[in-house]
Each structure stands twice: as C-alpha cells, then as structure tokens.
Chains A and B, each alone.
Chain A
C-alpha cells in the first residue's frame, strides 16, 4: 500500500497549501447552507401540533448537538497519531479542537435548556441522560483545555493532551451509558418521555439536515482557520512561512 499521502498529511506546509485552495469553497458552501438553513427554519417550518414554533429551536439544537459528539473521537484519533507517529499536524488540529468542542457542548446545553424551558417547563432536568452526559463531556473538554494551558513545553503538552483525549473519549462513552442507566432506575415513569419525536415530517427534517451540513461546514472552517494560525506560529522559522508573510 502506498503511504505517501499519510506522510504528506503530516506536513504542515502541505496542509496549509491544500486548505488555501479549499477554504474559499468551504466558506462559500458554509454561507449558503447557513443562510438556507436559517431562513428555511425561521420562515417556512409549519408549527408542530404539539411543539408549535419551538421546533425552530430543535433545528439548531440537533445540528450543534450532533456535531459536538464528533469532538472526542476526532481528538482521540488525532491523539493516537500524535503518540504513535509524532505528527505535528495532528496535535495542531487537536489543540484547537478542544476549546471549539467546549463551545459546541456549551451551545448544545444552552439551546437544549431554552427548548426544555418551554416544552418541559424546566431549564435543567437531571432525569434526562443526554443533558447530564453532555454536561460531563463539557467538563472533560474543559479539562483538556486546562491541561494544555498548564503545561508549558509544547511537546509534553501535545502528548499529555493526546493521552487525556484518548482516556476522555473512552470515558465519555462509559459516562453516557452509566448516566442512562442511572436515569432508568431513578425515573421509572418519566413525565419527560416526550422529546423531539413528534416533529419528524419532511417539512421538519429537511431543513434540519441542511442545518446539520451547515454546522459541520462551520466546524470544519473554524477548525481549519485555527489550525492554519497554529501552523504559522509554530513554523514561523520556516522559509515558506517567512516568504508567505512578506507577501501578505
């Protein structure tokens, strides 16, 4: 098997040049999907017979929540690459993924609260496993960010955070299942069993899919922008960076 693509991937310069080509397209697609998604959701979704206009919240919430679940697997894979192959690029991605993931988790919780406050009549509900495990995912991501900022040496920080991300990824799964189990035993007859399920016709899920694509594109664009900054900072002594800066 030909592995040159894999080693190329490890080269920050290659990544920088590739993303320079891709970014305009990604940003264009992101703007289109975001605009279509938001306008469609706000103006055209018919009111749900149970949830009225609050399904507009779910469009955002579902998209952000889905994307926020991608962070720990992404960081664990990047961490494995950092630990096994010492690839600098993987760590640059992982470093910026952690705070972005904390943002995503926070927005998931906040939008979920705003939806729950009308549909459940409460801002916070311990008996919903998704809320509680998302909260702990948020804590774990904040832990990774804290560890990164506490360790001064770049290489140590990279490998320590890589290990913590792998441990955290396994932990998020265990926490998710244990919280679900905890809930089942604490709430034999949950009054909250009604969740977003009533809103599931195509007039609802098509804009939701558009929004999911939009949020994924936003995630990619934001992470790529941050990673490119990281490359410029860490490779500032490289000839190609100095040339690039002098032209800018």
Chain B
C-alpha cells in the first residue's frame, strides 16, 4: 500500500511528471484556503476580546 518515495530528485518532485503547475497550484490554493479559514477566526477572536476588554474598562470608569 505504502510505496517508496516516487521521486529520485528534488527537481523531479517539483516537475510532477510534467504536471507541476497544476499539482502545485492545487496544493498552494488548498494551503491558502485552510490557512485563511483558520487564521481569520483566530484574528477575529483577538479583536473581539480586545474590544470587550476596552468596553469593560469604560463601563467600570463610568460606574465609579
């Protein structure tokens, strides 16, 4: 089932039997897609927490 590594050299690995552009585009796109949809919620969370903290401080000052 698991075969040996299919490539003898790194340039062969990049070439993908002549389909390098398509194969690497797909993997590039997939990486961007996964990264974007993980990083953006994390960034948003930071923004929300910062915003909520600021509000809490303002509220405290007002109540004092």
Contacts and interface: CB of A to CB of B under 8 A. Distances in A.
Interface of A: 34, 38, 40, 42-47, 52-54, 56-57, 60-61, 64, 100, 103, 107, 110-111, 114-115, 117-118, 202-203, 206, 218, 221-222, 225-226, 228-229, 232-233, 236, 241-242, 245-246, 248
Given A54-B19, A117-B22, A232-B45, A47 B6 contact: yes
* Chain A interface main SS type: helix
B59 to A, nearest CB: 9
Given A54-B19, A114-B26, A203-B2, 16 more contacts: A34-B34, A43-B6, A44-B3, A52-B17, A53-B17, A53-B19, A57-B22, A57-B26, A64-B30, A103-B37, A118-B19, A228-B45, A229-B44, A242-B56, A245-B49, A248-B53
Contacts of A241: 52
A34 B38 CA distance: 13
Contact of A232 (B13, B18, B42, B49): B49
Interface in B1-57: 1-7, 13, 16-19, 22-23, 25-27, 29-30, 33-34, 37-38, 41-42, 44-45, 48-49, 52-53, 55-56
B38 A221 contact: yes
B62 to A, nearest CB: 15
B42 A47 contact: no
Q: Which size bracket describes the interface of B in this complex?
A: 20 to 34
Contacts, number: 106
A23 to B, nearest CB: 11
14 contacts: A38-B27, A45-B3, A47-B6, A47-B17, A53-B16, A56-B27, A57-B23, A57-B26, A203-B3, A229-B45, A232-B52, A233-B48, A236-B52, A241-B52
B53 A245 contact: yes
* Chain B interface main SS type: helix
Nearest to A205: B1
A61 B49 CA distance: 36
Nearest to B1: A202
A122 to B, nearest CB: 13
Contacts of A46: 3, 6
